[in-house]
Chains A and B, each alone.
Chain A
């Protein structure tokens, strides 16, 4: 699997100067083909949705619905993409979302109102990311293990805080933010946050030294270190970033569901990884695009939406989802190789 992809990895340290020579161009061209094939998959889904349920699927409300549902996992996926591009993995994202959403909706936090809830979700996310980052960067732990440990303890802490009960949000301004009245020009605020996070993520990965360092660390950490990059600090920042994204996602989830529950964010880690992989991010690091990951998320959300509108049951949904993941990756590989 990773064999095919090794040539671009070897090139990565070289492409640190932005306007690099031809390998860099070849890489962007290839990325574009991948993105185009993803758009093709999405277009095919939209056609299927449009044919099977024209009235309900091709509807502004449905578009708002799909984008809103995508925004929580979408924000998580942006952070996850950075981590995977750097050659790491963050298995704790779902648990961090759960812990942050639960911590932000306790009776005590809710007394601080809107800002209290927002601040708490973000800080808890960042705090968990900081612990992950310290363990991985300075404790020299394998990301898989460090974040697995975080997964377990964050879920445990979330359960301890809630005692298993559902914490309903009573702060009206938070609830209002998820309502139809707060849409600006027909765009739900949650979707706006998702869009802003995506744009910042794209800029950060493609237009800054931070992004190039991330790619370099993922491509070949040793070469990156020799080239003068502080690899450990870079890793710390990346897990912080992932934690921050989880914190933002937790706030969005609190707004969307009007509650905090320790079961929140169930299996987000797998959804986010799957979306990033479908989007063309290499699991071994060194390559990945934000646009691809976001398209991956949208493909998943659209599939779920089409299934629900057609009243297909869970069994069929799960079988088809697996098949579509395989198909999307195969189509991408095909197109990437023929060009």
Chain B
């Protein structure tokens, strides 16, 4: 080791250089921060907070605790062997009788997820409990509705006592809690999500694949043509961007339906018989065809901008060194276009996996994707917890894919230009 210890470098006025540097950089840092402040707040309030709140709903189960606080307190004492004690019946009775109609109504929706029947039971009870003046309450409640003597109903409350729940996530992958809070599979006819997840991935991968197959040659042409032709071609590629998504989707409906343009042409040219028209609309095929067309520009643009940077001299050099055009393309051009391929595939896949409008309009029953279920629960069943769980799983899957991709290809290999 060197004997003289080297102290921090000082500026001429004796202040350590690092301090001095920080001071001089501070102004720039503040300036940079001020420039992004408006956007930061905008994103915070319109994106991060709402999304965070939404994601919390996927595990949140606290509302019902606020409606039946005493009951749940009493419930924890129950041994779950026999019917609950008079005390539990009594607290339940008063919290139902005295609770507001609105909060009870909202709570029953949640209770119904745990055990269907709760909703009608509580509705009926709320109405009839008015006539009961004093105890013992247990027998009187069972007289009003014998479901009050059903252990299954009482056990189902156990699933809801915790203010957080994994129930929505279980639901999103075709599982649920049984009354004993064990995880079991949904009934055969209610297993829909796993199937939809698989379908969503399949459609997204196929759309990505077709976009790549169709987009690569056109991007190559765009990148190698002289400017005056490539500009024209670029407009053709971008034209769909300037047309409304709905208009384009409806145009496809006209094109692809059984009595549509495409089938008519085939029949007219005697390629297929009139009774053998292709079923191209309201199924998965339609979803794939239309989504490929809609997402194609998102593949072409990154591909084009990367290919534009590949010097034509690379191909020339490869030819000059003796490689056949095909070999030169495979060994030299393709590896250099990988960053564009990656970017395009990522973009198309991410957009495709959450797609909603197109499958909704052209997908029929067979072409529905996970986005359609999210929309359905958001708007129709109002089961926002399940929506949030489905959304969170989507987000999680994409994050995992991104991580895997980064390990395999390296994120620095993504290039948009």
B partners with A: no
Residues in chain B within 8 A of chain A (CB atoms): none
